[in-house]
Amino acid sequence: MGVTTTRLPSSDRVDAAVRLRDALLGADFTADGLLELLGAPAYAALARSETVPALRATRGDSALDTLVRLFLLQQPVAHARVEHVLPVDVCLESGWLVAVGADEVTATVDIRPYGGPGGEDWFIVSDLGCSVGGAGGIGGDTGTADAGVVLGVGGASTTLAGLTVRTPVESALDLGTGSGIQALHLAQHATQVTATDLNPRALRIARLTLALSGAPEAELLEGSLFEPVADRTFDLVVSNPPFVISPGARLTYRDGGMGGDDLCRTLVQRAGDRLNEGGYAQFLANWQHTEGEDWTDRLRTWVPRGCDAWIVQREVQDVTQYAELWLRDAGDHRTDPVEYAARYDAWLDEFEARKTRAVGFGWITLRRTGSARPSVTVEEWPHPVEQPLGTTVRAHFDRQDYLRDHDDAALLAGHFRLADEVVQEQVGLPGAEDPEHVVLRQHRGMRRATQVDTVGAGFAGVCDGSLSAGRIIDAIAQLLGEDQVLLRDRTPAQIRLLVEQGFLLPVGTDV
């Protein structure tokens, strides 16, 4: 399943990748080209690791048929057929293809078209059978996955790519780069990209991903966590780490080799010292829900000093669901039933020893501010969101700055407007004079919903930036016959919440 080590010198390797990229684009081996060739049903089936529809759709002899069979379906293809499409000698010398028998070649890597955020034609390289939707799934048809496999693009990697703040920066670090997808995204807005991985094969594959996608070369360093970069600091750090909480370190791409959620905790706690002022660190992570401990308290202890944090739990699984998920991921369900049961038992032993009753999955974003009053938000939000969320993440921290710098008196003096695409919903019995609940709902970003009282609903409804919050509250008090002073005392808390969650935006600031 491993990728053959490239034997060409560095300069020749880059030239070979450029020639291969030109050949792939010339054959329309792109995300749009695939959809047109395969059709929507076969394209969707391939994403489910079902290859029969795609095999049927590529029975022709076009260049695109050839490339799909070679790189996506991992089928041997006649040498004579491939040489009309690719620079075969270069691909053989580079190790991307190998000869099979007297007259066929087969791929040693999965090369998959990937559409960039600006419509770019990118290519993500992974080990055979390790691309999401790959022909064999993780581990192929032979059973469990090899220890050092390099995965392609999956739901976790695209989630992190969508979360990342995309403002231009001087320096960015992709920690645990894998196939290089995060480094590829970073190369679009960072002057210098550094990518690290414990697995040397991953670094070779990441280099090919970048070259095939026409991206600038990154600094590729081998090692664990922050060790390869020593004491250097960055404007942006991203990581889709080996976050799986497992009873061992079988698979490099997912098992961190530390007990419980210690790897994720260590990564987050050390990130603060690796950030420049104003810099962001963004991670995917798993964390334990243990007996006698609130998971939000656990996560708060991870936040390094001098950093604001926004931690969102997206999903929770009980320990049996979690163990079954990752046993299937490694292909263990295809092994001997006795062996499978033993592995399952080992996972449950690990959780029992650590008093773990469930595992949470989510996003962690840090921003270095050096503030003596850090803002730490830990919340659960399992509902659908609108990706990409990079601008939403940045706006969240901008609003924390605003709220930190404005006391209640300053809030009342401030001007606000209702965020775009916020609607009001009234919930109550049919025919009732007044609703039981009034809910504000976002249709962008996090797509939050929050319940407000009559004052909150009225306040939000007239916020267009023209009047100060205090004047609006005074008008509402007069309309409802309430005491203006009392209403001014209790309303700032509601304004603060609506600003924090992005329903109201301060006017006259950069928030």
Work out the angle at residue 361's Cα, subtended by the Cα atoms of residues 355 and 363, and round it to the nearest 5 degrees.
130
CB 439 within 8 A of CB 453: no
Quick one: which of 254, 384, 376, 277 has its CA closest to 325? 254
Predicted TM-score (pTM) above 0.85: yes
Please report the pLDDT score of residue 136 as a whole number: 39
Q: What is the mean pLDDT of residues 467-494?
A: 96
User: What confidence tens digit (pLDDT) does each residue in 389-418 have?
Assistant: 999 999 999 999 999 999 999 999 999 999
3-class SS string, 124-150: EEEECCCCCCCCCCCCCCCCCCCCCCC
Q: What is the structure's pLDDT at 257? A: 83
- pLDDT in the model for residue 222: 97
Q: What is the pLDDT of residues 245-282, one digit of tens each?
A: 999 888 888 888 898 999 999 999 999 999 999 999 99
Residue-level pLDDT at 432: 73
Structure tokens at 314: 């997206």
Strand boundaries in 208-257, DSSP class E:
219-222, 234-239
**Cα–Cα distance, 134 to 52 (Å, whole number):** 12
Per-residue pLDDT of 14-56, as tens digits, reads 788 999 999 999 999 999 999 999 999 999 998 887 899 999 9
H-helix or E-strand spanning residue 312: strand 307-318
131 or 282, higher pLDDT? 282
Mind listing the pLDDT tens digit for each residue in 57-116?
999 999 999 999 999 999 999 999 999 999 999 999 989 999 998 899 999 999 999 999
Check residue 3 and give its pLDDT.
Answer: 42
Please tell me which residue, 90 or 132, carries the higher pLDDT value.
90
Q: How confident is the model at residue 239 (pLDDT cuts 50, 70, 90)?
A: very high
Q: Could you report the per-residue pLDDT of 337-360, keeping only the tens digit for each?
A: 999 999 999 999 999 999 999 999
**Residues 178-226 pLDDT 10s:** 999 999 999 999 999 999 999 999 999 999 999 999 999 999 999 999 9
Mean pLDDT of the chain: 91
For 138-177, the pLDDT digits (tens) are 444 444 456 678 989 888 999 999 999 999 999 999 999 9
pLDDT at 463: 97
The reported pLDDT for the residue numbered 137 is: 42
225 Rama sector, left if φ>0, alpha if ψ -120 to 50, beta otherwise: left
Q: Which pLDDT score, from 0 to 100, does residue 11 have?
A: 53
Count of C-beta atoms within a 10 Å radius of residue 441:
14
Q: How far apart are CA 194 and CA 226, in angstroms?
A: 11
